[in-house]
Amino acid sequence: GDSVTQMEGPVTLSEEAFLTINCTYTATGYPSLFWYVQYPGEGLQLLLKATKADDKGSNKGFEATYRKETTSFHLEKGSVQVSDSAVYFCALLTNAGKSTFGDGTTLTVKP
Partner 1 sequence: SQTIHQWPATLVQPVGSPLSLECTVEGTSNPNLYWYRQAAGRGLQLLFYSVGIGQISSEVPQNLSASRPQDRQFILSSKKLLLSDSGFYLCARNSGNQETQYFGPGTRLLVL
Contact residues: partner 1, CB under 8 A: 32, 34, 36, 42-46, 49, 51, 89, 91, 93, 95, 97-104
Quick one: 46 or 82, whose CB is closer to partner 1?
A: 46
62-95 burial: b if 16+ Cβ within 10 Å, else e: bbbbbeeeeebbbbebeebeeebbbbbbbbbbee
Min separation Cβ 101 and partner 1, Å: 4
Q: Which residues of 14-25 are buried (b: 16+ CB within 10 A; e: fewer)?
A: eeeeebebbbbb
- For partner 1, give the closer residue by CB, 17 or 72: 72
Based on CB atoms, which residue is closest to partner 1, 43 or 111? 43
Short-list 93, 41, 89, CA closest to 62: 89
C-beta of 17 vs 58, nearer to partner 1? 58
CB of 90 to partner 1, least distance (A): 9
Helix (H) or strand (E) holding 76: strand 75-77
